[in-house]
Amino acid sequence: MIKLVRCALLTFLLAFVAGAAWAKAGHSPSLYVKQQTRDAAPARKVLIVIAQTQLEPGIDSVDLGFGDIISMAERGIDRGLIGRGRKQIAPVVAALGAYDFDTPMRQAMIKIVEDIPWMHAQDIEFTRDGSSANIETKLNESNTRQMLVLEARYATDHRYTSIVVSIQSTLLTRQIPKGQYSDARLKREFIPFQQLVRSVIELPGTDLDHRESNLERWGTDQARLVRTALDIGVKQTLLLLQKNLGGGNDEISAWRRRRGRRTVTRSYMLGWEVGRQDAGTLFVEARAGTLNYLQKL
């Protein structure tokens, strides 16, 4: 009980701090690439980031969090929870073995950015170093006015009821804002565009009070259900990425307006349904504008 209370307090404080920082900045990145941003550069460097080499555990603050390009782990937030989570999901990771997440994700992301007319992608680079220092270095080394960072992740949720695949798109400007230091370009108030798209593939009949039983089910038969969930998640998240990067003002604005749409609630995510795709539901998270795909196995 004490641990649950501590986790709840930590989650509340993280959400409060993130919200306070956002309000203080007075600006948040656009959830679509505005025409003036598209016209601001004739071409763009693209940096693809997949920092992890295996399935990671989800934690409350990552599920809830949003912010700068600086990662939650880099800030040291919930590092202890991540360590404990890795121990808990170790049998599932071992059962999953050498699942190739990187190849299909990288190849598809390259094709998406190459096919978007306004992008004019060049110097497409892959890295496992998603630190702010490395991203800042890549931005300084680029010979374009803008750099698109695509960071892909795959993890369990913090209750082990689902497998989550996500891609965060962030457009950075090479020019340092007047009166600011170099790292200001990675802060929300100076980022012209940032959007998270996410696929949440749920295990049916999960027990929210007994996470161990959920992990046992994920790990059976060489983690067959995890492989299936990841395959679906990769495919659907890439479709959402293409939809978001290729979408215009009218389309994105239409997603952002509830207009009496059916409410969707999952864990801490509250939003509204904007459509159906294959066997799942598309919904926009009300708080952060995340575009989600939700499907039960």
Pairing of strands 193-202, 162-173: antiparallel
Among 240, 250, 226, CA closest to 275 = 240
Q: What's the CA gap between 26 and 223, in Å, rounded?
A: 45
16 lies in some domain: no
Flag whether 126 is in a domain.
Answer: yes
Residue 10 lies in a domain: no
- Give the residue numbers spanning the domain of 39: 26-296
Contact call for residues 133 and 182 (beta carbons, < 8 A): no
In a domain, 223, yes or no: yes
Instruction: Write down the pLDDT at residue 68.
Output: 55
Question: How would you class 121 by CB atoms within 10 Å of its CB: exposed for 0-12, middle for 13-18, buried for 19 or more?
Answer: middle
What are the tens digits of pLDDT across the range 190-214?
Answer: 999 999 999 999 998 887 778 889 9
State how many domains the chain has. Answer: 1
Highest mean pLDDT among 98-102, 258-262, 272-276: 98-102
Asked whether residue 157 is assigned to any structural domain, the reply reads yes
pLDDT reported for residue 14: 37
20 within domain boundaries: no
Q: What is the pLDDT of residues 224-264, one digit of tens each?
A: 999 999 999 999 999 999 989 988 777 777 777 777 788 88
Q: Write down the pLDDT at residue 252.
A: 73
Question: For residues 138 and 187, is the Cβ–Cβ distance under 8 A?
Answer: no
Please indicate, yes or no, if residue 73 is contained in any of the structural domains: yes
Instruction: Write down the pLDDT at residue 209.
Output: 75
Note the pLDDT tens digit of each residue in 29-59.
888 899 999 999 999 999 999 999 999 998 7
Q: What is the DSSP string of 179-222?
A: T--GGGGGSGGG-SEEEEEEEEEEPTT--TT-HHHHHHHHHHHH
User: What's the CA gap between 256 and 265, in Å, rounded?
Assistant: 16
Q: For residue 234, what are its two tokens?
A: 């990769």
In a domain, residue 35? The reply is yes
